Amino acid sequence: MDHLDRRLAVTLLLFSFISFSTQKTSISWCVVSEAEEQKCLDLAGSATAQNIRGTLLCVRGQSPTDCMEKIKNGTADAAAMFADDIYTAGWCYGLELAAGESYNGVDGISYYVVALARRSSSDLSLLEMHERSSCHPGIRTTVGWTVPIGFLVNTSQISVDEQCNFPKAVGDFFGYSCVPGVKDREHDPRGNNPKNLCEACIGDDNERHICVNNHRERHYGEAGALRGRGGEAAALR
């Protein structure tokens, strides 16, 4: 089962639950790609074939955040999201998690995220990170982005604007850092994300592909963030 199958596997069950609990005759499910839309249409057909009450409608969104906006303004009811989108959905749009899925049948799976610092930065504290440098495994990763940035927001060290521009808030907070992928078009379509979030990245052996969201950037991933030369701290699992 590929990641898209897993991402939509709970849709039929959740659709049944929402239909039953809200007495709605139709549920609008927001999707962000042609493949996801086709999965949704297939599930809608399965729901009809199994005589599940109500109708599943598939609404096309431009991005996960567009789906969040649609749910907030009432033009969609639900969407399947990856872990890194859930924090944004709750913090910025006031949405709640309705269901989760386990890929191996074990509930309560969790892991710790730890912050590592250089020995030379003995005065470093998680509550005193302003203008310090940092290395992250990648943009919008749970370990390297969502958890540590969520901690900084929840402890009021970072203030996010009304547009929920997390990269700008992080760039204003940290000094030079390495967040692979933060300047990729997918995550920075307008080219406005702060440049300092790539200043500690080094690219490949020929100093190309700097700050890309893959292993061509030598500071990409948890191992890359750990050996980051410029960062004073890194968040790892």
The reply to whether 118 and 232 lie within a common domain is: yes
pLDDT at 10: 47
Exposure string for 120-133, b = 16+ CB within 10 A, e = fewer: eeeeeeeeebeebb
Q: Is 101 within the bounds of a domain?
A: no
Q: Which domain holds residue 187?
A: 114-236
pLDDT at 84: 76
Q: Is 73 within the bounds of a domain?
A: yes
Q: Is 153 within the bounds of a domain?
A: yes
Contacts of 220 (CB under 8 A, 6+ apart): 137, 138, 180, 212, 213, 214
CATH number of the domain at 158, please: 3.40.190.10
The reply to whether 140 and 194 lie within a common domain is: yes
pLDDT at 108: 57
Contacts of 188 (CB under 8 A, 6+ apart): 167, 182
Q: Which two tokens stand for residue 119?
A: 């020995």
Confidence (pTM): 0.76
Ranges of the chain with pLDDT below 50? 1-2, 4-10, 12-13, 16-17, 20
pLDDT at 163: 82
Name which of 180, 191, 134 is nearest 158 in CA terms: 134
Count of the separate structural domains present in the chain: 2
Q: Is 120 within the bounds of a domain?
A: yes
The reply to whether 81 and 29 lie within a common domain is: yes
Residue 163 has what DSSP assignment?
T
pLDDT at 128: 81
Q: 209: how many CB neighbours lie within 10 A of its CB?
A: 18
Q: Is 108 within the bounds of a domain?
A: no
Residue 28 has what DSSP assignment?
E
Q: Is 105 within the bounds of a domain?
A: no
The reply to whether 11 and 57 lie within a common domain is: yes
pLDDT at 104: 63
Q: Is 107 within the bounds of a domain?
A: no
pLDDT at 113: 81
The reply to whether 147 and 221 lie within a common domain is: yes
The reply to whether 72 and 143 lie within a common domain is: no
pLDDT at 229: 64
Q: Is 186 within the bounds of a domain?
A: yes
Dihedral sign from CA coordinates of 146, 148, 154, 159: negative
